[in-house]
Structure formats: C-alpha cells, structure tokens
C-alpha cells in the first residue's frame, strides 16, 4: 500500500531528515519549513518510527486542501477516505493548530473536523454512534495560510522519547536536537566524543547511538502498533533489520563531565540503560579543568545560558573559559549551541561555520570550529 507521510521537525533539521529518509528508502522526499513530506509502504512507516534520529513524529497524510470557510473544511474533510485507517470501534480524537488563516478558531476547526470524520464513517460503516473504545488514532490538523493538512499520528509519544531518560536535570537539550548536532559534526564510530557540560548525558548518548547506527526507537512502542489495518509483522521485521545494521566492536569512546554531581549520577544512570553505555564515561569536573584523554576528539556542548540557567555575566565568563580550554589543535573540533549572538566575542575566535537551529522555541546558533 502506497502511503503519504509528513514528519514535523525542529526548524533547521529538515535537510538532515530528508537525507535520513532517502537512506531509509523513502520516496518523493520533499523538505518544507519545520516538516518533511515523503511516501512509502507499511514497512517504511515502522522503519522511520524505529530508526529516525531526528524526526519528532511520523504522521499519515490523509488529505491536503485549501479551506476558507467552515463549510469547505467540513465537506473536504468528509470526502477523505478515513475508513482506510479508522475502524468502527477505534478512538479518533482531534487536535491541531491554525496560523495566518481565515479559519483561525482552533476549537471550531477541531469540532468541525471531528463532525466531518464521524459523518464519513457513519456512511461507510452504516452505524450512527461510535463508542471509540478501540486503539487511539490521533487525528491532527494544521492550517497554514488557508491550506489544511489532515493527518493521523502513528508515533504516540514524541519520537524524542527514546526510553532511556526517565529523569532529567534542569533545561536538558532535546534528544532529536542532540542527534542532529552529532550528525552535523560528522561523528563516526571510531571517534572520541566529549561533552564537558554533560548534564543528564543526552549529547553523549545520542552521539553514541548515531555513531553506531543504533535505531533510537528500538526499545519503545508506537501508536500504530495497535492499528488493525497494519500487518503486525512489520514491527518485528523492521526491528530485526535495524539491529542487523548496527556497528559493533568499535573504538568509539565518550567522556562527559559536569560540575553538578547529581547530573553526573543521572547521566551514568541514563547511559546504563543502553548497551553502548559501557563506552561512555562520566565524572564530576569543572569546565576550567577540561581534560583531553585522546589525541583527537570532537567536543559537543550545550552550555547553560541566560534564558536557561545562568545570567548574562556568568554566561560570558563561561564562554571565555571555554575559549581557553577549547584550544585550536590539529585533530580537534568543537561544536557549541547557544542563543547568544555574542558568543564568538567572548569565546575569542570566529566560528569556521554557523548554523541556525532551534532548541524548542529558542532560536540558537551552532558554532562550529573544525579547521
């Protein structure tokens, strides 16, 4: 069965997702602002959920159309083939958003879409009441510039929830963003990775998963595993396929440190939940005492900053310290994500490259030093 999909994503990682999807054998891949469109079969639905390092979730694109009035929204929604995905007993709640559109009331759009889907299913199943006691098929809508996308979520919990981070410390970096930075640093399975402000260990863990080609969704479940219309064997097949592609017996090492002993304990706890945890080492250490434990290395860090944990003056002092300990040396590269536009001034040198990324809703720059 040919299915059209949409992946919503953090702004700035659309290109990475497009490349990842092509490597997973997706078709008709097209990147847009904050989302990527593609198509494929049922196996690809399972594969992307299990294997994507950067996607926020995987959604089935049921329909795409322009709507300027509520009547138009109702009729065009009702005309879609909802019965292909939603059974007579399935639950189908509706949520979404509207931006820069004539239909700006989200609650009104929500009730109209729900009513339209009910009317569609009534005519298909010949029943007038839906108990909705079966598996949840979350309908999502986005209306932007009067264009409506009607979607069914297949992921359930967001794909950034890998299952290893049961607890976290203050203002952690999102797993999908950490994985994206690992990809942008061109991290490999024979590299040594450092994060001297590791917090709960997300950057090191995501770096290790990415470098070893370990599918981040192997140890969790997805909403679509309960969809009756999908063959059950696709999930075991795709998990098996993912395991067969993992890199094993590598020279990869990860060294994390933090000034907070509770964060270090948490990082150790999180890493211990993964089989690559034995390649990651954590200790309590101040950034000013940063210690290189290899001839070459990649440093990735997400320093605390004004809007998170430090005031401006303390953040600037931290950046100056980083400039001293992250010295220019052959075989070493540094990747720092921060929203502070003055970072380079305090750090003491211009980045070789900058890339705009979003940490949640906070616009950041990834400062890259690799020459």
Residue 229 has pLDDT above 60, yes or no: yes
Map out the domains of the chain as residue ranges: 3-153, 175-214+252-369
Looking at residue 310, what is its pLDDT? 65
Q: Is the pTM of this model over 0.85?
A: yes
Q: Percent of the chain scored above 70 by pLDDT?
A: 98
Question: What digits encode the pLDDT tens for the residues 194-221?
Answer: 999 999 999 999 999 999 999 999 999 9
* Chain-centroid distance, C-alpha 331: 29
Question: What is the second-level CATH architecture of the domain 3-153?
Answer: 2-Layer Sandwich (3.30)
> Mapping DSSP to helix (H, G, I), strand (E, B) and coil, where does residue 229 land?
coil
Residue 169 has pLDDT above 90, yes or no: no
Strand order in the sheet with 147-153: 27-32, 35-40, 3-8, 59-66, 147-153, 139-144, 94-99
Looking at residue 361, what is its pLDDT? 85
Could you give the angle at the alpha carbon of 214 between the alpha carbons of 209 and 217, nearest 5°?
95
Question: What digits encode the pLDDT tens for the residues 129-163?
Answer: 999 999 999 999 999 999 999 999 999 999 999 99
DSSP class of residue 173 equals: P
Residue with the bigger pLDDT between 308 and 125: it is 125
Task: Look up the CATH number of domain 175-214+252-369.
Answer: 3.40.50.150
Question: What digits encode the pLDDT tens for the residues 329-362?
Answer: 999 999 999 999 999 999 999 999 999 999 888 8
């Amino acid at each position: 069965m040919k299915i059209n999909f949409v992946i919503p994503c953090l702004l700035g990682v659309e290109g990475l997702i497009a490349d990842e999807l092509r490597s997973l054998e997706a078709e008709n891949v097209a990147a847009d602002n904050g989302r990527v469109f593609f198509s494929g079969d049922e196996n690809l639905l399972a594969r992307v959920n299990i294997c994507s390092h950067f996607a926020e979730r995987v959604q089935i694109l049921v329909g795409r159309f322009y709507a300027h009035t509520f009547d138009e929204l109702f009729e065009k929604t009702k005309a879609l083939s909802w019965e292909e995905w939603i059974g007579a007993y399935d639950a189908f709640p509706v949520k979404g958003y509207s931006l820069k559109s004539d239909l700006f009331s989200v609650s009104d759009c929500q009730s109209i879409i729900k009513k339209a889907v009910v009317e569609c299913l009534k005519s298909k199943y010949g029943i007038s009441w839906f108990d909705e006691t079966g598996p949840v098929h979350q309908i999502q809508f986005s209306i932007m510039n009067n264009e409506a996308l009607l979607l069914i979520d297949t992921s359930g919990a967001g794909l950034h929830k890998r299952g290893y981070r049961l607890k976290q410390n203050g203002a952690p970096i999102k797993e999908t963003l950490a994985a994206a930075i690992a990809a942008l640093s061109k991290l490999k399975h024979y590299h040594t990775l450092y994060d001297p402000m590791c917090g709960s260990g997300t950057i090191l863990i995501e770096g290790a998963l990415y470098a070893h080609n370990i599918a981040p969704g192997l140890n969790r479940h997805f909403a679509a595993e309960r969809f009756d219309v999908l063959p059950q064997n696709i999930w075991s097949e795709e998990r098996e396929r993912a395991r067969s592609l993992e890199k094993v017996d590598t020279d990869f090492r990860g060294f994390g440190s933090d000034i907070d002993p509770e964060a270090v304990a948490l990082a150790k706890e999180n890493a211990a939940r993964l089989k690559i945890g034995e390649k990651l080492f954590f200790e309590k250490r101040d950034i000013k005492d940063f210690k290189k434990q290899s001839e070459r290395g990649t440093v990735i860090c997400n320093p605390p900053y004004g809007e998170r944990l430090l005031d401006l003056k303390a953040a600037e002092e931290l950046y100056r310290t980083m400039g001293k300990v992250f010295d220019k040396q052959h075989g070493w590269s540094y990747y720092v994500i921060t929203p502070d536009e003055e970072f380079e001034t305090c750090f003491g040198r211009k980045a070789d490259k900058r890339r705009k990324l979003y940490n949640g809703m906070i616009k950041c720059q990834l400062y890259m030093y690799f020459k």
